[in-house]
A and B are shown apart, each in its own frame.
Chain A
Amino acid sequence: MYETNYHRASSVEDAARLMGEAGEGKYLAGGMTLIATMKQRLAAPSDLIDLRHIGAMKGITVNGRDVTIGAGTSHYDVASSDALKAVCPALCSLASHIGDPHVRHMGTIGGSVANDDPAADYPSAVLALNMTVKTNKREIAADDFFVGMFETALEDGEIIVSFSFEAPDKAAYQKFPNPASRYAMAGVFVAKKGADVRVAVTGAGSNGVFRHQGMEAALKAAWAPDALAAVSVDAGMMMADIHANSDYRANLVKVMAKRAVASAG
């Protein structure tokens, strides 16, 4: 790891100020991606602004069907929240399958979404649950947030503070984890609220997480796994690597979507 200078922020404002004073600074949430990347010398921020001790960024509030999750909430805390489980168990289940128990104790929802790894699980939930991403500057709709691989609408120095959404009637997430890395080779989050259906796909698309309009239309017409049988998933927009070519991934997307609908019930 190259040299770096560590700063611990006491509040969101303090963090933004520290970033303003830094050279090539980076915010540090749980560090489960950033520290690992720095060790490989793939990232070399001059300054690290640690957000982990900002109490206001942590915790889950459920008010009726309205859910707010602080960006600094760990995967473990999302997975084990009884209040969240009562209204949106799919999100708890997603969080409980990220990395391993130790990673889930450190990693945060805000860190995962801000990084926007194309194989990360959370971006699919943000998109399918139509979350509002609240930052220290503004509110961003999920549909405007994800721009591409590792690329979001966040501006330099902008910090995600929380995520909010209205719990769906039905939702589920299913992924096919790479047998070695356990990252999703295809992960599909389906959510139904009233007549509206949203389907978000992660791990597979060559431009990062995306919504699949074809599957959404089919599921609006009939909420059942078989409703997806005739929907085509374009292999042209899938990633290809040594683990799976684009045709294989396109098929996986459909299989995961069917499993998700089946598991949502």
Chain B
Amino acid sequence: MTKVTMTVNGRKVSGECEDRTLLVNFIRENLGLTGTHVGCDTTQCGACVIHMDGRSVKSCTILAVQASGSEITTIEGISSGDTLHPVQAAFKENHGLQCGFCTPGMVMTAVDMIRRHGGQLDEQTVRQELEGNICRCTGYHNIVKSILSAADEMGGAKQAAE
């Protein structure tokens, strides 16, 4: 067993795990943060997307030991108390989910996407950027709508602050 230490959602955590333990299992089982899901387990569906050192990654294809020392953000870490993150609020407002299984990965993907594109997104870019996330319910339409709406909201907020 190896001791793994990382900062998760702003809190320093550590735990013992095997070197072969996947980061997603460490997050779910050792830390009890079950918002990050395992869908396909083959790097395709994106239900396990989290942020590691500020970039979106698939936590089912990274070992927990690889992430030792890093800053991790999961779906549990993006709201401010009871106030939803603008992307979460947009998914709620636009009915961007049905069963909800893919949603944590979709939301974490959207937050990263909006960060990289600086709030300047169009429909085609959003659809291309969703290459690594699979939804079997919505047909993606309302997910795309949610992300565009959140991007507008966040871009607008940014302008207002400047």
Contact = CB atoms under 8 A, between A and B. Distances in A.
Nearest to A34: B61
A63 interface: no
Interface stretch (A97-105, A166-174, A217-225): A97-105
Given A39-B41, A102-B46, A3 B19 contact: yes
Contacts of A32: 43, 61
A50 interface: yes
A85 interface: no
A3 to B, nearest CB: 6
B109 A101 contact: yes
B57 interface: yes
Contacts of B63: 6, 31, 35, 48
Interface string B124-154: 0000010111000000000000000000000
A142 interface: no
A106 B57 contact: yes
A3 B109 CA distance: 31
Given A102-B46, A103-B132, A182-B131, A48 B19 contact: yes
Given A35-B62, A36-B42, A103-B132, A4 B20 contact: yes
Interface residues of B, number: 26
A interface, by DSSP: helix, strand, loop or mixed? mixed
Interface string A164-193: 000000000000000000100000000000
Contact of A99 (B20, B113, B132): B132
A210 interface: no
Interface in A100-127: 100-103, 105-106
Contacts of B37: none
Given A102-B109, A182-B131, A1 B20 contact: yes
A105 B46 contact: no
A7 to B, nearest CB: 9
B2 interface: yes
Contacts of A102: 46, 49, 56-58, 109, 132
B61 A36 contact: yes
B65 A6 contact: yes
Interface string A65-97: 000000000001000000000000000000000
A101 B61 contact: no
A28 interface: yes
A105 B61 contact: no
B85 interface: no
Interface string B55-84: 111100111011000000000000000000
Given A6-B2, A48-B19, A105 B57 contact: yes
A48 B65 CA distance: 11
Instruction: List the 3 shortest-distance A-B pairs measured between CB atoms, nearest first.
Output: A100-B132, A6-B19, A100-B131
Given A28-B66, A38-B20, A76-B55, 10 more contacts: A2-B20, A3-B19, A6-B2, A6-B65, A31-B66, A48-B63, A102-B49, A102-B56, A102-B57, A105-B57
8 contacts: A35-B62, A36-B43, A39-B61, A48-B63, A101-B112, A102-B56, A106-B62, A182-B131
Interface of A: 1-6, 8, 28, 31-32, 35-36, 38-39, 48, 50, 52, 76, 99-103, 105-106, 182
